[in-house]
Amino acid sequence: MNRYLNLKTYTFMFLFILGFLLYWFGYIGNKDSFNATSLKRNYELLVGLENSKDFERLYDEFYLNNPLLGKPITKEKFVETKLKKSVNNFNAELKLHSITFNNNDAFINRLIVDCIDEECSQTRKRRAYKKWTFANNQWFPNGEVMCIRNNPYTIPPEFERSISLIIQRAKTSDFSSTNEWAKSIEESKNCIDIQYANTDEEIIGAEGLFTFNKDNNIERYSILVSPRYQVKDDLITAFLLVHELSHVINYQQSLSTGEMADCFEDEANAFGNQNEFIALLNDEELQSLNLRANYSKSHELNNMIQVYNEILNFEGENYSEKTLNYVKSSPYYQSQCRNFN
Ligand SMILES: [Zn+2]
């Protein structure tokens, strides 16, 4: 009798431990764990489902019980939207670089190489961090970010002050696209490294220069500013930085979408943002700029005003069309964009 009971107890214990182990390693109920292996499995599943266009299962796996979705979306609507968006999508190859954890979030540094035709004769590369969040014991996709550094680079304090001013003003704009732009800078601030160039020659005589990083480093977007700006005031520096920061944000967008922005349009956009920034300054700030231009004869500021006035004389329905025509006709930008393409 005793032996029988013992056997029953052992069998029970054995099954209990086996069940526990199976549960622990995720074989029962396919529960996720808060670790890289589990996240990787989920992300690869998601990319696989996108590839096979199995949007029904994609919805069931990642959107049905997603507690992170502000506004739930129905399966029909989800599938319909995905099918529409993916008409020209062919196979996509995933290259996973690294995973970084931060509280309940994880950031997957990844490169996607999309085939843009059936034969995959041409490809497009998309680069970004995919953010995933662990909620209710599951991993859920939670958007895309371009910078995950917790701390900023050490930059001269005048650049810090200028960036703060730019963000603050851009947030007050009536245009939602400018508010979004401010948000993008705020999110990427820790990855933007701004330093003075040693000499003007180093930046080919420009006032400022954003250098595209060819080594695929998405942790550092480098801007060099002419040493002449060391004696300028924050407003003039901010005006210049709006231009360079516009290049950074456009570059991030092209990394994320894989669609390279046209070089002339990129320049015109940067000038357009500078023009908008002026409109966001208050009367006192404008007066201060006027004084600098008229009385202290700031060469850099007068240069900027001259360009602004020149743009107004170009053909075009609005400021952005005029700006595009201005940069297209400028020998400086013609040469820069030739090198770029
Ligand atoms: Zn530029």
Query: 243 CA to middle of ligand 1, Å?
Result: 6
- Does residue 1 have a pLDDT over 60? no
Residue 52 has a pLDDT of: 93
Query: 96 CA to middle of ligand 1, Å?
Result: 32
Query: 247 CA to middle of ligand 1, Å?
Result: 7
Over residues 42-61, the mean pLDDT reads: 95
Query: 320 CA to middle of ligand 1, Å?
Result: 14
Query: 310 CA to middle of ligand 1, Å?
Result: 16
Q: Mean pLDDT in the chain?
A: 88
Query: 287 CA to middle of ligand 1, Å?
Result: 26
Q: For 23-37, 121-135, 200-214, which range has the lowest pLDDT when averaged over its residues?
A: 23-37
* Residue of 231, 238, 260, 249 whose CA lies nearest to 304: 238
- Residues paired with residue 96 on neighbouring β-strands, in sequence order: 110
Residue 340 has a pLDDT of: 66
| Counts for the chain of helices (H) and strands (E), in that order | 12, 7
pLDDT digit string (tens) for 194-207?
999 998 888 887 88
Query: 266 CA to middle of ligand 1, Å?
Result: 7
**Whether the Cβ atoms of residue 277 and residue 170 lie closer than 8 Å to each other:** yes
Sign of CA dihedral 47, 26, 142, 56: positive
Query: 197 CA to middle of ligand 1, Å?
Result: 16
CATH annotation of 32-145: 3.10.450.100
Query: 336 CA to middle of ligand 1, Å?
Result: 9
Over residues 150-166, the mean pLDDT reads: 96
Query: 100 CA to middle of ligand 1, Å?
Result: 33
Query: 156 CA to middle of ligand 1, Å?
Result: 21
Residue 25 has a pLDDT of: 54
**Whether the Cβ atoms of residue 82 and residue 58 lie closer than 8 Å to each other:** yes
Query: 92 CA to middle of ligand 1, Å?
Result: 33
Query: 290 CA to middle of ligand 1, Å?
Result: 24
Q: For 205-219, 248-262, 267-281, which range has the lowest pLDDT when averaged over its residues?
A: 205-219
pLDDT digit string (tens) for 72-103?
889 999 999 999 998 888 888 999 999 999 99
Neighbours of 195 (CB within 10 A): 14
In the chain, list all ranges with CATH 3.10.450.100: 32-145
pLDDT digit string (tens) for 110-119?
999 999 888 9
Residue 293 has a pLDDT of: 83
In 1-157, the DSSP E strands lie at 92-102, 105-115, 123-135, 138-145
Residue 11 has a pLDDT of: 76
The Cα–Cα gap between 109 and 131 comes to 9
Residue 295 has a pLDDT of: 82
Residue 214 has a pLDDT of: 61
What distance separates the 2 farthest-apart alpha carbons in the chain? 108
Query: 258 CA to middle of ligand 1, Å?
Result: 20
pLDDT digit string (tens) for 4-26?
557 777 777 777 776 666 555 54
Residue 337: pLDDT band with limits 50, 70, 90? confident
Rg (alpha carbons) of the chain, rounded to whole number? 27
Query: 170 CA to middle of ligand 1, Å?
Result: 19
- Does residue 27 have a pLDDT over 60? no
* pTM of the predicted model as reported, rounded to 2 decimal places: 0.84
Query: 330 CA to middle of ligand 1, Å?
Result: 12
Tokens representing 84 are 């529409």
CA distances from 323 to 152, 173, 253, 277, 308 (A): 33, 21, 21, 15, 9
